[in-house]
């Protein structure tokens, strides 16, 4: 998707006349595109790919905390999740700390439930 500056816009001129967004689903392809100068910005870099990108002299790697939250919700209107004991058993079966370490290599933070949602 490409956005071009509207020359009759009433405000200040934009910093760029054209911005193109490309979806590059594969991490390796996305990283290679950044490394070879094909793109100017990539996002959603897995933690285990940050260090290799930091070794590239032509790249500046910046980390930004996003409000990207992954949550597990149960449909409590259908079996088996209509039973609190089942929901509680599933919650206890999930090793949240191990999941955090394995999936993000300590680049994410685990926040306990703040009480707004049913933990059972």
Q: Is the pLDDT of residue 108 over 60?
A: no
Burial 5-21 (b: 16+ CB within 10 A, else e): eeeeeeeeeeeeeeeee
Q: Is the pLDDT of residue 111 over 80?
A: no
Residue 10 or 108, more confident: 10
Q: Which residues share a beta bridge with 18?
A: 4
Distances (CA, A) of 83 to 35, 38, 88, 116, 119: 51, 52, 9, 19, 12
Residue 53 CA to residue 57 CA, distance in Å, equals: 9
pTM: 0.52
Residue 60 CA to residue 53 CA, distance in Å, equals: 8
| Residue 79 confidence class, pLDDT cut points 50, 70, 90 | very high
Residue 2 or 102, more confident: 2
Q: Lowest mean pLDDT of 49-58, 65-74, 86-95, 102-111, name the range.
A: 102-111
| Residue 9 confidence class, pLDDT cut points 50, 70, 90 | confident
Give the residue extent of every domain in the chain.
2-54, 66-120
Q: 120: Cβ–Cβ under 8 A, 6 or more apart, which residues?
A: 84, 87, 88, 91
Task: Summarize pLDDT for 14-68 with one digit per residue, the tens.
Answer: 888 999 999 999 999 999 999 999 999 998 888 888 899 999 999 999 877 666 5
Give me 13's structure tokens: 């001129």
């Amino acid at each position: 998707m490409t956005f071009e500056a509207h020359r009759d816009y009433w405000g200040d001129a934009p910093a760029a006349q054209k911005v193109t967004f490309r979806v590059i689903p594969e991490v390796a392809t996305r990283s290679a595109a950044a490394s070879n100068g094909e793109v100017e910005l990539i996002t959603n870099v897995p933690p285990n790919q940050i260090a290799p990108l930091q070794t590239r002299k032509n790249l500046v790697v910046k980390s930004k905390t996003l409000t990207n939250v992954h949550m597990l919700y149960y449909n409590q209107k259908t079996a088996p999740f209509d039973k609190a004991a089942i929901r509680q058993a599933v919650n206890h079966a999930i090793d949240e700390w191990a999941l955090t370490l394995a999936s993000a290599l300590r680049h994410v933070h685990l926040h306990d439930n703040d009480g707004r949602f049913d933990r059972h």
